[in-house]
A and B are shown apart, each in its own frame.
Chain A
Amino acid sequence: MDCHNKSPEVQVGKDTLKFLLMGNPNVGKSVVFSKLTGVEVLAANYTGTTVGYTKGKIRNLKKEGILIDVPGTYGLEATSEAEEVAVSFVKEGADAIICVLDATNLERNLNFALQLKKFDIPMIFVLNLVDVAEQQGVIIDSEALAKELDAPVIPTVAVRNVGLRELITVMEKVGKRQKEVCYTAEKELVEEEETRWKEIGRIVEKVQTLVEREPSFTEKLGYVSMQPWPGIPLAILVLVLVLGFVVGGGKAIRGVLLLPFVYNVYEPAMTAFIGGFITEGTIFYNVLVGDYGVLIKIIEWPFALVLPYITLFYIALSILEDSGYLPRIGVLMDGALRKIGVQGGSIVPFIMGYGCAIPAILGSKAATTHKERVIVASLVSLAVPCTAQTAAFFVLLGDESIWMLVGVYGLSILAMIIGGSVLNRMLPGKVDPMLLEIPNLLKPDVKTVVQKIKIRVKHYLVEAQIPMALGILFAAIIAETGLIHGISDFLSPVVTGWLGLPGEAGLALMLGIVRRELAVLPLLDMNLTSLQIFTGATVALFYLPCLSVLAILIKEFKLKTGLAIAGTTLVAAFLIGGAINQTVRFISSIL
């Protein structure tokens, strides 16, 4: 076998040192990476957070050096797309591998470490999570371990910067390698398994001391949360609390703080200001500050209506992610999820999808079969509203009646069940049975969580604003120039005839191509009936994923599958929305 195939392209200067950051999943590699390079990558407490690789220049190192954050892997036989990335990196070689070990699970981590050592690349070991190990009564003698591994071992608490300076000191000593790495003896690895585990047993015996400890509160909670009783009621309670926090909190912030500001301060000020230059009533004036005025909507929609919900949702999601609770929900749901062709572990990309579909689709790389990946990506694109759209729903439906909100989310879940079952039957192949490590339940580190929320909110502010602004500008021009009437006439067989919406609602459909929440927000100012609101929301829910999601779908699954997924969502939107409208009208006509 050629060991140099399939290597990802890495451009490195001639004298730049290349360090690979490797190890089992969920041991803290991404945290170490962010701290050493200052490059922000997301870390979370479950297997498969990092699915692609990130490169970063190492700060505070006297020489020129780059560090590569590699997805975690249990062994050198790749079992998912994410693990393939990792394996191809070792085969490409590096000047040194920084292998991160989880101090709470030394045995299994050494199994990977000893395999890595065979590649004959200089190694530096980072013994991370020593704080958690200590709480659990696990004491590891890092000096003895260094002797056994014949390489430096640095104990760290990565989230609190403990030990990172020592790590840099050791990294200074690494030199540029000339040798090519070529390791092909994969058969040998299998034969060696027996002896390797014996060796591991011997090392662990020597370096690890266990102290009897009463299980801590988090350990007990970790245990009960994966029992069907009381785990399932607990999961429902968590869901209700999160919803209450996001819906209630968002409504309060926008009602008390943001909307009064926009309507009472910003809008009058802006209108007066523009009025000073441009005569009221002209087209240009209306485009800027009229009904769909860009300068008004560009503040009202993304900041006053959507931002509070986005922030609160990511606060909740980030805490849940770092606690290690999500995989436990996956375990409880596995039996049910398997019926729609996904494993319990895939609950994580679904939950992420309620934030944004892009990380969800990328995260599905951790799935072990392509079939499962396609199912997850399709269902997320079809029926999981992102936070921005959810925020728009809360405003549109929540103000009408809470039951409409429940109805739309019920429809979303129903569509996932039906869609999943159909795809599961239709797509060839089968989905692997679940085999998933359950992480320790941890008290999330406040700084890490705050950092993560910042990254995500910033991402919304930067990435979403340009398409949003263009969309709003486009809407303003169409609406204010009267072009809207031509478009309404053109779309009216579908929009008015089939969906029962006013002609202007065509605007929502056009904007919805750009971003999901824009398929909802224009409906706000149209004085719709309850039925129209519900139909509009349903269409928006299933309607095309936004442009960026479409791009990711095509990139990850090729043009054909990407367009097939998008096309299906479009058809589903019109079919289901229209069916609801026609049925309700029919029933009320005979009553």
Chain B
Amino acid sequence: MSLYAIKKEHRCIIENLPKIGLLKSLGLREGINVAIKSKQPMGGPVIVQVGRRCVAIAQDIAKDIQVREVN
């Protein structure tokens, strides 16, 4: 499923992500465990906690990130 489909406060493991250099530099890569911290209305971004820091990811990108839910 896509990262955008995960509910708030749920965790998931990233399985596949689009080739955007900045995504990797921000610490998002295959195999890591992230938590959804908030979802913004009006097609806004999701906020994902990666390690100790939060990153806002636009809907368009989040939909392209494939994840497996763990809980």
Contacts and interface: CB of A to CB of B under 8 A. Distances in A.
Interface of A: 74-75, 77, 79, 104-105, 107-108, 111-112, 136, 138, 193, 197, 223, 226-228, 327, 330-332, 334-336, 338, 343-344, 433-438, 440
A127 B38 CA distance: 30
B58 interface: yes
A331 B58 contact: no
A369 to B, nearest CB: 13
B47 A138 contact: no
Interface in B13-35: 20-27, 29
A331 B37 CA distance: 12
B60 A335 contact: no
Majority SS at the chain A contact face: helix
Interface in B29-71: 29, 37-38, 40-45, 47, 50-61
Please provide the 4 A-B residue pairs with the shortest distance between their CB atoms, ordered closest to farther: A335-B42, A433-B58, A74-B25, A335-B44
Nearest to B50: A108
**Which secondary structure dominates where chain B touches chain A?**
mixed
Given A335-B43, A435-B20, A227 B58 contact: no
Contacts, number: 98
A344 B44 contact: yes
A434 B45 contact: yes
B57 A338 contact: no
Contacts of B24: 75, 193
Contact of A331 (B20, B23, B29, B45): B45
Given A105-B52, A105-B53, A344-B56, A75 B44 contact: no
B53 A79 contact: no
Given A193-B24, A436-B45, 7 more contacts: A75-B25, A79-B22, A108-B51, A197-B29, A343-B58, A344-B45, A433-B58
27 contacts: A75-B21, A75-B24, A79-B21, A79-B22, A107-B27, A108-B53, A112-B25, A138-B52, A226-B37, A226-B38, A227-B38, A330-B56, A331-B56, A332-B40, A334-B45, A344-B56, A433-B45, A433-B59, A433-B60, A434-B56, A434-B58, A435-B58, A436-B56, A437-B53, A437-B54, A438-B55, A440-B53
